[in-house]
Chain A
Amino acid sequence: MKAKSIKQWTWVHKWSSLVCTAFMLLLCLTGLPLIFHHEIGHLLGTEVEPPPMSAEADRQRVSLDQVIRNAHALHPDRVVQFVSPDADDDRVLFVTLTPTPAPTDDFKSVAVDARNGQVLAQPKFDEGFMWIMFKLHVDLFAGLAGKLFLGFMGLLLLVAIVSGVVLYSPFMRKLEFGTVRRERRPRLKWLDLHNLLGIVTLVWAFVVGATGMINTWADLLIKYWQYDQLSHILQPYQGQPLVAAGERASVQKSVDVALAHAPHSKVSFIAFPGTAFSSPHHNTVFLRGNEPLTAKLLQPVLVDAKSNEITAAPAMPWYLTALLVSQPLHFGDYGGMPMQILWALLDIATIIVLGSGLYLWLKRGDPAHEHTPRGTARPSPDGPTPTGDRLPEPAPVVAASTGARSA
């Protein structure tokens, strides 16, 4: 690699990482407890547990209309936006109630026993340590703008990763894989650790960074989907107002109709008229498959909220499929506890890469000397010569230019 292109890639690597490092450290730190949010919730007692019942009673299911009535009775001034079974335990249903059907952070969640319709708990998802971690991780308490901002920081991380890989070659060409020169200056040790952990976590960090970035676009993708596909489907309803609560037919019936339409599937969640995931005229039942992969994909079924007839069951467009697949790849929640632990370890490794990168920059030398090979500038036996512990960049330049000459 030519010294000039190394210099350019170094510039790209330096600035893409410098701009995003503070935010990436925040994301890595807040992401760490989020990997274990289920387990932490369990420990804190905030996880909803259905009481044990006899095997026969366990199989009973009360009508969803009853479930919704019971939940709504606790918050009569609110509207029901969504109903969703607990992903791991379909004996628990979560009913989400908000002031209006519009998206908001002001929501109440009521957990209802699916077997008898009794209210189990009103978990407070919107307070406490985990909520703060979640909001800092997702949108910095700044809504869509915060999400898109973090998405852009994620893009810079991807640029930093790619440029880091390009620079790996000139830094490491004279060194054996995994070399960490501990006995020299601390700066050299951290440079080697930065390179080692950076290359070891490369694919994981790229995938988690890229899928995280895709997740920041979720709101926009869903809006686009409504515009792109639902608007055609909803043409016959044009001009009609939101279906009033009194005009709506049975919710249980609309779920039954949807399930009959797509057997071998389960309910992921139900979105009610006027909400972000539905239309003003439909109960939209989102079904998921029974197989490991299809369980992560969704099939929406739009059921007319008045007549309970199916209007459409549009296939998910590719961009929403990509969004849905990118979620487990970001969360690391799809391979059991060992995978969560590996996720945490890789996250910590990434924190070290970020921290060491920052350290290397803070301990950088006088930039005026950056491209002046020091001393004899001979091809060094131990690769990038520590020509001075203040200089990060000159070493690879020396190594590369000498390497280029000898090649």
Chain B
Amino acid sequence: MSRHSTHAPSSSFWRLWGWPLVLGVLTAVGLVSALFSDGGAGDVLAWITLGIPVVVGVWHGWCRRGNRVHAPD
């Protein structure tokens, strides 16, 4: 732990919140983009950006096998 102590605060932040932030931003982009579109590119963007959180949830929840617990520092 001590070896990485100088980087620890920011890297642990991103390790914890990186994925949630990315998925949250993607969801927000999708929800808004379809509002400005009627069957156009905004709708397609919404399908992709809203689809990614769904895929991530299904992947980690049901598809991925095995136990990937973070190793001790």
Which A positions have Cβ atoms within 8 angstroms of B?
168-169, 172-183, 193, 196-197, 199-204, 207, 292-293, 295-296, 325, 328-329, 334-336, 338-339, 342, 345-346, 349, 379, 381-383, 406-407
Known: A169-B16, A181-B69, A200-B23. 8 other contacts (CB 8 A): A169-B17, A177-B18, A200-B54, A202-B24, A203-B31, A334-B35, A335-B42, A336-B47
Q: CB distance B39 to A175 under 8 Å?
A: no
- Interface size, chain B (Cβ < 8 Å): 42
Residues on the B chain within 8 Å of A202, using CB: 20, 23-24, 27
Q: CB distance A172 to B47 under 8 Å?
A: no
B1-42 vs A, Cβ < 8 Å mask (1 yes, 0 no): 100000011001001111110011001100100111111101
Q: CB distance B31 to A182 under 8 Å?
A: no
Q: Once the chains are docked, how many angstroms separate the CA of A132 from the CA of B37?
A: 32
Residues on the B chain within 8 Å of A334, using CB: 34-35
- Shortest Cβ gap from B49 to chain A (Å): 10
Residues on the A chain within 8 Å of B20, using CB: 168, 177, 199, 202
Q: CB distance A407 to B67 under 8 Å?
A: no
Which B positions have Cβ atoms within 8 angstroms of A?
1, 8-9, 12, 15-20, 23-24, 27-28, 31, 34-40, 42-43, 46-47, 50-51, 53-54, 56-57, 59-61, 64, 67-72
Interface centre among A168, A295, A325, A334, by most B CB within 10 Å? A334
Q: CB distance A178 to B60 under 8 Å?
A: yes
Q: CB distance B43 to A197 under 8 Å?
A: no
Q: Once the chains are docked, how many angstroms separate the CA of A174 from the CA of B72?
A: 8
Interface centre among B43, B57, B59, by most A CB within 10 Å? B57
Q: Once the chains are docked, how many angstroms separate the CA of A349 from the CA of B67?
A: 22
24 intermolecular pairs with C-beta atoms under 8 Å apart: A169-B16, A177-B20, A179-B67, A179-B68, A180-B64, A196-B60, A197-B57, A199-B19, A207-B27, A292-B38, A292-B40, A295-B38, A328-B35, A334-B35, A335-B42, A336-B43, A342-B51, A346-B53, A379-B72, A383-B69, A383-B70, A406-B1, A407-B8, A407-B9
